[in-house]
Homo-oligomer: A and B are copies of this chain.
């Protein structure tokens, strides 16, 4: 019987094809490493092979990858990691005592004193305790319970895990998840894969990308017609938009979530990247507690942090954690079980997280260097945030909100109708066409706004502010010139 089947089809027929693969996976889109990034990698190869271009290198401003843009790692972190990797260095007198003390704290908590052992699935216990203390200190003493801390492989891992728990129902009773537009496309990608319903709420570009309760209500009530909205995701400080939500706004959002019975997901990985005067980071957790027990004892919240951003920029280590609040105890057991299947988050990433949440104290020998390095990174980022906003706003056809925080600008660009027509002819979104042209002509890799979502008829791009100041200046200048040339070409 199987022989007949064998003969009926060609030998080269695949078991797995585009037609019979997981349709949810096919729907996934992830613009940050999408077609434009792949083209940038191609161009880099061409440059290496000696192909002549109007530029000598590709500047990749498509992704928040600080070290790739030349930011130096924090000495203290890396010294601790070196000792954790090779404990014989504990005998090396060139390492300061606080470095050795931190490395010992980590190694003593590892099975067999090795970061090569699996950790507990939720992460190493003493690191979870130190994370809890770190959160308490960030939030002015509001208590944090280590039992609510789950270490993770970057924030992405934890976000997808919580979304996975929340998936339920079919058709009109399927879980709906409110996500900001523009959004970081991990959210849309995860929801495509999990089969969750995306409910888009728009950030208010005219009000510096603030959240707006009227808009949240509009989106929620409309969604109730076709799904079961249960989750509200917030990215603060914003990615790709760079805003920092005000305390009042966060309070309003929490009240809205409680009233409408929504599970809150607070993506706060840029909590350490605040630049604008008057802007301040308020964690959802803190505001929840400030609203009193009626809120702090009821509203379900998962908040996420990462070692990849802030002044650390240690993306490659995939370190991160989440804090969950008011989770149903039975659900929490299920969450613990689910993470145990993958055994544990990468232990070097956990060790790095320990150095971040337990960084040198003023009386310790590594403190002066640590604070100097940290301050320099953050000051440079603040300067680059200002420079970016100022430069773009001098270019006709580019309008740019202040970069209050995070690592990106998301300026609005005006595109001539002829350019829009031309893009459609070539099968691209207009801002994708714009970005592809910019990449080919100037060697600058940005991500088109369509990859994050934007209001119908508006166009944007996301650019990181991470390149070193001199390179950033050059890049801003080239983008400005390109924009004017492009506009002229299609006018």
B11 contacts A298, CB within 8 Å? yes
- Contact residues in B for A189 (Cβ distance below 8 Å): 341
Shortest distance between the CB of A367 and any CB in chain B (Å): 18
Rounded to whole angstroms, the CA-CA distance of A71 and B347 in the bound complex is: 17
Shortest distance between the CB of A106 and any CB in chain B (Å): 11
The 8 Å CB contact of A298, one of B12, B67, B120, B156, is: B12
Find the B residue at minimum CB distance from A217: B2
The 8 Å CB contact of A16, one of B11, B81, B117, B165, is: B165
- Contact residues in B for A22 (Cβ distance below 8 Å): 164-168
- Residues of A within 8 A of B (CB-CB), count: 105
Q: Does A488 contact B (CB under 8 A)?
A: no
Q: Which of A166-217 contact B (CB under 8 A)?
A: 166-169, 186, 189-190, 193
Q: Does A314 contact B (CB under 8 A)?
A: yes
Rounded to whole angstroms, the CA-CA distance of A331 and B15 in the bound complex is: 11
- Interface 1/0s, chain A 1-21, versus B by CB < 8 A? 011011000011111111011
A25 contacts B86, CB within 8 Å? no
B15 contacts A230, CB within 8 Å? yes
Q: Does A387 contact B (CB under 8 A)?
A: no
Q: Does A263 contact B (CB under 8 A)?
A: yes
Find the B residue at minimum CB distance from A294: B11
Find the B residue at minimum CB distance from A5: B261
- Interface 1/0s, chain A 262-300, versus B by CB < 8 A? 110000000000000000000000000000001001101
B338 contacts A28, CB within 8 Å? yes
Apart from A29-B337, A316-B346, what 18 extra A-B contacts exist at CB < 8 Å? A2-B260, A14-B300, A16-B331, A17-B331, A25-B164, A28-B341, A30-B337, A33-B121, A41-B120, A65-B117, A70-B112, A73-B114, A110-B316, A116-B315, A119-B316, A153-B318, A156-B343, A348-B348
- Kindly list the 8 A-B residue pairs having the minimum CB-CB distance in the complex, ordered from nearest: A68-B111, A316-B347, A82-B86, A67-B114, A81-B85, A33-B340, A116-B314, A348-B348
